Amino acid sequence: MSQTQQQVEQLIQSRYKAGFYTDIESETVGAGLNEDVIAMISAKKEEPAWLLEWRLKAFHHWQTMVGPNWAKLKLPAIDFQKIHYYAAPKQENRPKSLDEVDPKLLETFDKLGVPLHERARLAGVAVDAVFDSVSVGTTFQKELKEAGVIFCSFSEAAREHPDLVREHLGSVVPYRDNYFACLNSAVFSDGSFVYVPKDTRCPMELSTYFRINARDTGQFERTLIIAEPGAEVSYLEGCTAPMRDENQLHAAVVELVAQEKSKIKYSTVQNWYPGDENGKGGIYNFVTKRGDCRGDDSRISWTQVETGSAITWKYPSCVLRGDRSAGEFYSVALTHNHQQADTGTKMIHLGKDTTSKVISKGISCGKSQNSYRGLVRMAKRADNARNYTQCDSLLIGKTCGAHTFPYIESANPTAKIEHEATTSKIGDDQLFYCRSRGMDEEEAVALIVDGFCKEVFKELPMEFAVEAKALLEISLEGAVG
Amino acid sequence: MSELLEQFSAPPLIELESDLEALRKHAQKVLMQHGFPQRKTEAWKYTPIAALERRDWSSDGPDESAARTESIELPFDAHRIPVHNGQIDTSQLNEIDGLHIEPLRAEQIDTSAYVDHDPSDAFAWLNLARLEQGICIRVTHTLERPLALQFSSSDQFKQAAHPRIRIELAEGVEATLFEQHRLHGSGLINLVMDLQLAAGSSLQHLMQRQNDESALIARTEAQLEQAAHYQAYVLDLGGALTRQDLKVHLNESRARTRIHGVAALKDKQLVDYHTAIQHRVGPSHSEEDFRILADNHSMGVFNGRIHMLPGADDSHSDMNTANLLLSEHARINTKPELEIHAEEVTASHGATVGQLEEAARFYLRSRGLNDAEALALLKFGFAAAAFDALESEPLRQWFTDRLKQAL
């Protein structure tokens, strides 16, 4: 018995494998937020003047706003003046290629299993690696350039492609959108920029890996993906942070622009540090993700596997503006110990014959709280629009909570909306069956949970599906018994 | 809204005993502090309270004009309690075995569930702040005839009235409560009803409303003890503004509830249902089915909430809402919520919004019905399903007849 107890404890401790810290000399701006800090971030990134102006406008607006309190989250007040808004590994000059990047940094990403260096190029995924506030390198840039695809860090895009950035930045998520998006607009550091030209299918999967390393910093990345008419792109995003007793803030904004007949697939495996088993530490994850299906017949698909973060506040949305455009949202959110997640999606149907599909799977263990919050809105002009939503929750343990808050608004009689939701625990008969076939309880639970999430996992690109499944199994360890 | 608040917070006319007076003062304080719900108040997001502001509330004093002596028809003999222009009249209920009527006492008013840090429960506080006449009906034996609460108001009725009624069912008692509303004029009835169901008791609560321009804001809260059973059936056939909060607390094991409702709306009518079922202890059981048909410029709102607390193990809950949008100017907003804090439970909800199938209309037309008849039949079939579970045949018939007439 005691041995089992010990094993379980070991397992819980081994749960977060990305919790190490990289000891690297870094350059950090003093804590606090004011106009000087914003001007400094902008100067560091050698940004054009209009961008600084935009940041300051956002900052002034943010000062007039109050944080949202409608989510089902217990959240202590965040002291925004205690956060460092910029941290970057020290380097004399900007590295021109991966060879010039500090080996310690490459080692970090190597340890995290992110293919930055040559030999890992065999994996065939172009990667942009973001360490604290800066991008340390982007692979495959040459090959992508040949196809006409631009894939680089956001800072580089602001310098090299200012017109594209200026045209689209804030066009999907305006800086006034919400409290955290507004904060991000003022202080955003790095992120990825993707531009896929007309009738081009991006020749490989694109991926960004975000790593928070420095203490007391926040990460505020901004990602912008533009798919021109007929373009297609699949983008993956992963993230981790060291284990620390203090909470750290992550407030990102992702904007997707899908023109006529284009397709964007955006997958996330979110594995920020969730805090320890007593709820100490962990990342506060406040993210605004929105895709705009601007053109007719365009398509945006969000897939997310959320296992990390102490607090998740995230609603990847689709604005279905073009006729016959389609939005999809597939989500698995697992919460354990004291984690809290309030996540879901918004599907705003504006165009005719638009369709959307929402599949959400929530798993709550330990003392965690897991909420699905979604909106489906059929505007007056959305003739023959269709939506199907399914959200299922699984409860593992007596002290956790699973909640569903779906908003359904329809102003068009020809639109059809179907919503269904269930909440239950793992059936004793299912467990008994698995155990009678020789599995122990933990294996049985993992198998059943895997089956419960199958509809979402099958939407993930192959490499991510394997990772997501493994991550879920690790996250479930110690949840039973 | 401030004018409205001023009008509502003027000192009440009738003096009450000190405990009630203290409650009234407290309610006034909460109301003055937070005011009425705004557009951003989540629980009132879809109820256009601002429309009340535009009304003329200036005429003061109770409306003594020729009372509209409409007697509301009932399909059966009942113990009638007319509530005309908000005035509760219990004169017809003398010396009935098992029925006791008394003025409401302060200790019978429980405000512990009222939100006092924002305007979500402003109208419940308003009811208390303007409390003049509250009654408590105690049912100590199973009654032979149902109780009928008949709300009416005259064409000249422009004021706001705040009746408060508490009904207590003793252990093992079975009762049927018929609640009818025929509100005319352009006033506001802000009703609060507290229902107490002792162990093993059973209440069948039937609500039927057909109002004009008068607004109705009703809050019904039922507390159930062990193995008590509360069933509510609602049929709304109009009203410029009808807001019904229906809260059921399953406080002890084997308590169960079923709430079903239908709203058939037209013109600029609005019905906003806010239901909340709380499973405190398991096993307990709840079932909910609301159907809204919105035509012309009407708006139908359903916000259902199932809340399973820790300890509600072995409980089960099903919630369903189906909505028909029949006009391009009508609106449906719905939000079926689940909040689950117990593991050994099952809970599910389903929601649909759409229109009638073209194929079904075509089929009926091919059988000789004209389009209007086909439409009416399909609408009727869609809505009447909510009353299928009503055990009493005459009651079911009465409900479905009313519905048929309206469609």
| N-terminal to C-terminal alpha carbon distance within chain B | 36
Q: Cα distance from A137 to chain B (closest Cα, Å)?
A: 44
Cα–Cα nearest to B126, from B108, B137, B114: B114
pLDDT at residue A8 is higher than 50: no
Cα–Cα nearest to A412, from B119, B159, B328: B328
- Residue B338 touches chain A, beta carbons under 8 Å: yes
- Residue A413 touches chain B, beta carbons under 8 Å: yes
CB-CB contact of B335 with B302 (8 Å): yes
pLDDT bracket for residue A2 (50, 70, 90): very low
**Separation between Cα atoms, residue A227 and residue A264, nearest integer Å:** 7
pLDDT bracket for residue A1 (50, 70, 90): very low
| Average pLDDT in chain A | 84
Report the run of H or E that residue B190 belongs to, with start and end. Answer: strand B188-197
Q: In the prediction, which pLDDT does A122 show?
A: 47
CB-based burial of residue A167 (10 Å sphere; 0-12 exposed, 13-18 middle, 19+ buried)? exposed
The torsion angles phi and psi of B55, rounded to 5 degrees, stand at -75, 160
pLDDT bracket for residue A6 (50, 70, 90): low
Nearest to B353 among A401, A408, A421 (CB): A408
| Subunit contact B332:A419, Cβ cutoff 8 A | no
Selected residue with higher pLDDT from B49 and A124? B49
Rounded to the nearest angstrom, the gap between the alpha carbon of residue A100 and the centroid of all alpha carbons in its chain is 29
Calculate mean pLDDT across residues A163-174. Answer: 94
Report the run of H or E that residue B321 belongs to, with start and end. Answer: strand B316-325
Report the run of H or E that residue B346 belongs to, with start and end. Answer: strand B346-354
Selected residue with higher pLDDT from A227 and A74? A227
Q: What residues contact residue A476 under an 8 Å CB cut-off, 6+ apart?
A: A334, A336, A363, A365, A396, A442, A445, A446, A449
Selected residue with higher pLDDT from A76 and A62? A62
Calculate mean pLDDT across residues A252-281. Answer: 90
| Subunit contact A423:B345, Cβ cutoff 8 A | yes
CA angle A269, A389, B315 (to 5 degrees): 95
**Separation between Cα atoms, residue A415 and residue A435, nearest integer Å:** 46
pLDDT at residue A478 is higher than 70: no
Q: What is the dihedral of CA A78, A79, A84, A86, to 10 degrees?
A: 60
Nearest to B346 among A396, A408, A424 (CB): A424
Q: What residues contact residue A77 under an 8 Å CB cut-off, 6+ apart?
A: none
Calculate mean pLDDT across residues A331-347. Answer: 92
DSSP, res B113: T
Which of B46, B118, B353, B375 is the best substitution to test chain A (most A C-beta atoms within 10 A)? B353
Q: Which two tokens stand for residue B140?
A: 């100590």
- Residue A397 touches chain B, beta carbons under 8 Å: yes
Query: Which amino acid does the sequence have at B18?
Result: S
Alpha-carbon separation of residue B240 from A227, A395, A430, B186, B294 (angstroms)? 48, 43, 52, 9, 13
- Residue length of chain A: 481
pLDDT at residue A114 is higher than 70: no
Q: Which two tokens stand for residue B134?
A: 């509250």
Q: Per DSSP, what are the bridge partners of residue B189?
A: B161, B216
SS3 assignment for chain A:
CHHHHHHHHHHHHHCCCCCCCCCCCEEECCCCCCHHHHHHHHHHCCCCHHHHHHHHHHHHHHCCCCCCCCCCCCCCCCCHHHCECCEEECCCCCCCCHHHCCHHHHHHHHHCCCCCCHHHHHHCEEEEEEECCEEEEECCHHHHHHCCCEEEEHHHHHHHCHHHHHHHCCCCCCCCCCHHHHHHHHHCCCCEEEEECCCCECCCEEEEEEECCCCCEEECCEEEEEECCCCEEEEEEEEECCCCCCEEEEEEEEEEEECCCCEEEEEEEECCCCCCCCCCCEEEEEEEEEEEECCCCCEEEEEEEECCCCEEEECCEEEECCCCCEEEEEEEEEECCCCEEEECCEEEECCCCCEEEEEEEEEEECCCEEEEEEEEEECCCCCCCEEEEEEEEEEECCCCEEEEEEEEEECCCCCEEEEEEEEEECCHHHHHHHHHCCCCHHHHHHHHHHHHHHHHHCCCCHHHHHHHHHHHHHHHCCCCC
For residue B328, the chain A residues in CB contact (below 8 A) are: 380, 412-413
DSSP, res B130: T
- Residue A411 touches chain B, beta carbons under 8 Å: yes
CB-CB contact of A362 with A330 (8 Å): no
Nearest to B335 among A378, A397, A407 (CB): A407
ipTM value = 0.85
Q: In the prediction, which pLDDT does A109 show?
A: 65
Q: In the prediction, which pLDDT does B118 show?
A: 85
Rounded average pLDDT per 10-residue block, chain B, 407 residues: 60 74 89 86 86 66 51 81 89 83 91 87 91 91 91 87 94 94 90 96 94 92 97 93 96 96 94 96 94 94 94 93 93 93 89 90 92 92 92 89 88
| Subunit contact A423:B348, Cβ cutoff 8 A | yes
For residue B266, the chain A residues in CB contact (below 8 A) are: none
- Within B198-355, residue ranges assigned H as helices are none
Each residue's pLDDT tens digit, A395-423 = 888 888 999 999 999 999 999 999 999 88
Q: Which two tokens stand for residue B327?
A: 């006009």
Residues 68-87 of A with CB under 8 A from B: 70
The reply to whether the predicted model has a pTM over 0.95 is no
Q: Per DSSP, what are the bridge partners of residue B87?
A: B84
**Separation between Cα atoms, residue A51 and residue A317, nearest integer Å:** 25
